[in-house]
Structure 1
């Protein structure tokens, strides 16, 4: 009969041994996820810096590319400004080739205005709605032009909404009264006479020294006030 050394027989691990093994495993996994997390963070930062560098580089290149397009735009040759001419890129090609650059963003504004002049209102709105800039003149102007596209299509309700959006963006005494007058006209065309009255009244109260504050707005407030009193 073969004698078996009992010490050579595998023993069932005790609860304490199981706990230790589990703890070691958890520590190992934790270290692994720390390493993964570190590399993921590193790659994210690297990707962001790379993206930033590329957009900056593209901005420098594309500014040269669109010089001629801006020239055509200022000359009211909107078709050439949009599509380019010869070796010179137009706004559309710049936007497509260099997305996410500051210049492409500005080109969306130019393209929208160009399409507005060509009476292609859907395209104008498409590009103007993509334009985003922390600038109290151009950003508000883009919304006002979107309002113009709706006004040209006799959608006065939507036109008024965009004029008001422009007027409420960083109010100032130079441009805000202009947008309020546009909004007032659109509201009246849409039969919203009270809202039209409020726009003119706001000009009289807040912007009395503007080009509209001492003349047009006062006359329109008086006219609409008389009209509303008859209701």
Structure 2
């Protein structure tokens, strides 16, 4: 057992003297090892000083570059893109409300005019901005309304949003496009994603209904019944619920 050594300690016998010498030797070895380790560390730092400073410099430049890009490039780009959205959005809204000349208004929204950008220009010129992302949604919906379904799919697939309503509408739009292209399985998948993406009184019953009708047309009456019954149980005041009993009857009769 190690013995605590007071200052001025003298061994009482040969055994204590030997133990004391061994402890002193061990302590010396520990400090020697630490000194050697420190020396090697200092030597490594000395040899690689330029590399270390260079790495720190690269990191510092990268951080400063990001901050500068965010402040002087991205923020102005976002602001300009948002301003450019005003012109095509006007034509898009007019097209939705119009009973005539829809295609020409949607075309103006997509391609711009009078020196103003359309949605397609904003997507190209302001890539990576929130406005360009929103322009993907609007362009996809414009093409969907113009019966250009593959183009609608191309742009709606590029749209991503944390807004649950817009996200559900874009997924539902993809379902509509695939349905028109004669791909009901794909359409059903997107309708189901759309009502699963958000639980609200507007989009959920809307896409439950479309999913139910699509499943019914595919002969999957059990799935259709599940979707129709959910509308009846959870959204009895929705537009989709007005004729839901008839669809429930059709699904049950074919099950």
Same fold (TM over 0.5): yes
Select 2:59's aligned residue among 30, 41, 44: 41
How far 1:23 sits from its partner (Å)?
4.1
> Quick one: structure 1 residues 20 and 66, their matched pair in 2 at CA, closer, same or farther if it must change by over 3 Å?
closer
State the TM-score, normalized to the length of structure 2: 0.74
Displacement after TM superposition at 1:163 (Å)? 0.7
The CA RMSD measured in Å over matched residues stands at 2.6
**Aligned: 1:221 with 2:251:** no
Query: Which secondary structure state, in structure 2, belongs to the residue aligned with residue 132 of structure 1?
Result: coil
Larger radius of gyration: 2
**Secondary structure in structure 2 of the residue aligned to 1:75:** helix
Q: How many residues matched?
A: 213
- Aligned to 2:44, the other structure's residue is in SS state helix
Q: TM-score, normalised by structure 1?
A: 0.81
Residue 72 of structure 1 pairs with residue 100 of structure 2: no
Alpha-carbon distance change, 64 to 42 in structure 1, aligned in 2, over 3 angstroms: same
Q: State yes or no: 1:59 paired with 2:60.
A: no
1:106 equivalent to 2:124? Answer: no
Contact 2:216 2:251 (8 Å CA) reproduced: no
Aligned to 2:183: 155
Unaligned runs of 5+ in 2: 1-35, 96-104
Q: Do 1:56 and 1:101's aligned partners in 2 also have CA atoms closer than 8 Å?
A: no
Aligned match for 1:117, one of 145, 154, 160: 145
1:95-147 superposed Cα distances (whole Å, 9 cap, x missing partner): 11111111111111111111112222121111111111111111110110111
**Residue pair 1:66, 1:88 contacting (<8 A) in 2 also:** no
Does the C-alpha gap of structure 1 residues 206 and 44 become closer, same or farther in structure 2, counting only changes over 3 Å? farther
- 1: CA distance, partners of 2:106 / 2:226: 37
